[in-house]
Amino acid sequence: MVIALSVPALSSLLGRLRLRQLALVVAIDELSSLRKAADRIGISQPAATKMLAELELALGLPLFERGRRGMAATVYGAALIRHAHLIISDVGAMREELAGLASGTAGRLAVGMITAAAGPLSIAIAQLKQRRPFLDVTITVDTSDALIPMLEQGRLDVVIGRPVSAEHGRDIVFTPFGPERLSIVCGTQNPLCARSDLSLSDLADTAWILQPRSSPLRQVVEASFREAGMQTPANVVETASILTAATLLQHGAMIAVVPHSVALHYVSSGMMAILPVMLTHELDPYGALTRKTRAAMPALTELIALIPREPNW
């Protein structure tokens, strides 16, 4: 028999919920211990026990269960924790903006970036810093599948990347910039540089440097091999770091797949050569991913407008 539970009206919750309660449930989720969570937010364990009981009473729902490995969130607790992350992040953003206004600076902007966006994003940030010299900009570089959860949790204000799942459509707005070509590259000392008659099958037994399996770029590479009737190479080094890939190419007879704009940068510096082999599949356009529910930030709006849209980046 299913027992229907009722959740109080919004007006009631606004009068009873406290930010410290949300900080407590996030800490319990991360530490699996009420005692450790209490220490983190600076209260006693009895006070934490009382605070959690008051929160469960206010919501009319059980939030955690005790097990052998400590406290684990119920389905209701997991939903609350997800929203608690967003609320705490938004309060942090509010505090940063107010502090910036009060001190005469311009606040903070947290940007997530895929490697393909390095060129255009660098240009945009350089221009933005000229206009807003006291803006604190932090940049996190990773694959789209790793960055988007950080955006959903409020740890990033924007991701310059690609949407990776329809599930992200509920609270994510995607503004496309343009397509991104891919290039197969090697180090300049690699004997393959002298070959002009290469095909994908010629590279099947070579050591490849590929992004993690969950990344859109890796999926494009694997789709190209499948279309050619081939298995994805077994001799693979996985990394999302273009710097690591570039270093590996300099010290071994390996090849890698990188965005064309990245390849051009390393070719101009004499570190890479582009091989005359094309993949049959392409990446989806990349662009700016932002949250619908986050209030518009003038600095973020300005940054997105400054990012060049040239398709050859």
Question: For position 254, which CATH number holds?
Answer: 3.40.190.10
Cα separation, 67 vs 75, in Å, equals: 15
Q: How confident is the model at residue 313 (pLDDT cuts 50, 70, 90)?
A: very low
Average pLDDT, the chain: 86
> Taking 70 as the threshold, does the pLDDT of residue 311 lie above it?
no
Which residues partner with 152 through β-bridges?
none
Q: Mean per-residue pLDDT for 259-276?
A: 88
Residues 269 and 191 in one domain: yes
User: Over the Cα atoms of the chain, what is R_g?
Assistant: 24
Q: Mean per-residue pLDDT for 118-134?
A: 88
Whole-number percent of the chain with pLDDT over 70 = 92
What's the pLDDT tens digit per position in 200-256?
988 988 999 998 888 888 888 999 999 989 988 889 999 988 889 999 998 888 999
Q: How confident is the model at residue 104 (pLDDT cuts 50, 70, 90)?
A: very low
Question: What is the pairing mode between strands 207-210 and 286-291?
Answer: unpaired
Domain end call among 32, 52, 84: 84
| In a domain? residue 30 | yes
The answer to whether residues 287 and 120 touch, using CB atoms and an 8 Å cutoff, is no
Q: Which residue has the tokens 């008051």?
A: 54
Residues 172 and 294 in one domain: yes
Residues 166 and 249 in one domain: no
Q: Mean per-residue pLDDT for 290-297?
A: 79
**2-6, 45-49, 84-88, 137-141: the lowest-pLDDT one:** 2-6
| In a domain? residue 100 | no
Which pair of tokens denotes residue 228?
């050619």
Give 8 or 66, the one with higher predicted confidence.
66
| In a domain? residue 109 | yes
Residues 165 and 302 in one domain: yes
| In a domain? residue 98 | no
pLDDT at 169: 55
| In a domain? residue 266 | yes
DSSP sequence for 38-82 = HHHHT--HHHHHHHHHHHHHHHTS--EEEETTEEEE-HHHHHHHH
Residues 109 and 175 in one domain: yes
Percentages helix, strand, coil for the chain, rounded to the nearest 5? 50, 20, 35
Q: Mean per-residue pLDDT for 112-132?
A: 88
For 290, the 3-state DSSP assignment is: strand
Residues 266 and 299 in one domain: no
> Taking 50 as the threshold, does the pLDDT of residue 15 lie above it?
yes
The answer to whether residues 95 and 125 touch, using CB atoms and an 8 Å cutoff, is no
| In a domain? residue 62 | yes
The answer to whether residues 135 and 103 touch, using CB atoms and an 8 Å cutoff, is no
Residues 109 and 172 in one domain: yes
Q: Which domain holds residue 70?
A: 10-84
Residues 170 and 228 in one domain: no
Residues 175 and 224 in one domain: no
Count of structural domains within the chain? 3
Question: For position 70, which CATH number holds?
Answer: 1.10.10.10
Which pair of tokens denotes residue 96?
């940063």
| In a domain? residue 26 | yes
pLDDT at 108: 82
Residue from 13, 42, 40, 44 nearest 28 by CA: 40
Any alpha helices (H) in the chain, and if so which ranges?
A: 10-16, 19-31, 34-41, 45-59, 75-103, 118-131, 144-152, 216-227, 242-250, 260-268, 298-306
Range of 35-49, 79-93, 121-135 with top mean pLDDT: 35-49
Residues 187 and 171 in one domain: no
Whole-number percent of the chain with pLDDT over 90 = 42
Residues 192 and 261 in one domain: yes
The DSSP output letter for 104 is T
Domain end call among 53, 84, 115: 84
For 152, the 3-state DSSP assignment is: helix
| In a domain? residue 313 | no
Q: Mean per-residue pLDDT for 174-196?
A: 87
Q: Mean per-residue pLDDT for 23-51?
A: 94
Residues 17 and 80 in one domain: yes
Q: What's the Cα-to-Cα distance from 72 to each of 20, 50, 138, rounded to whole Å? A: 19, 18, 33
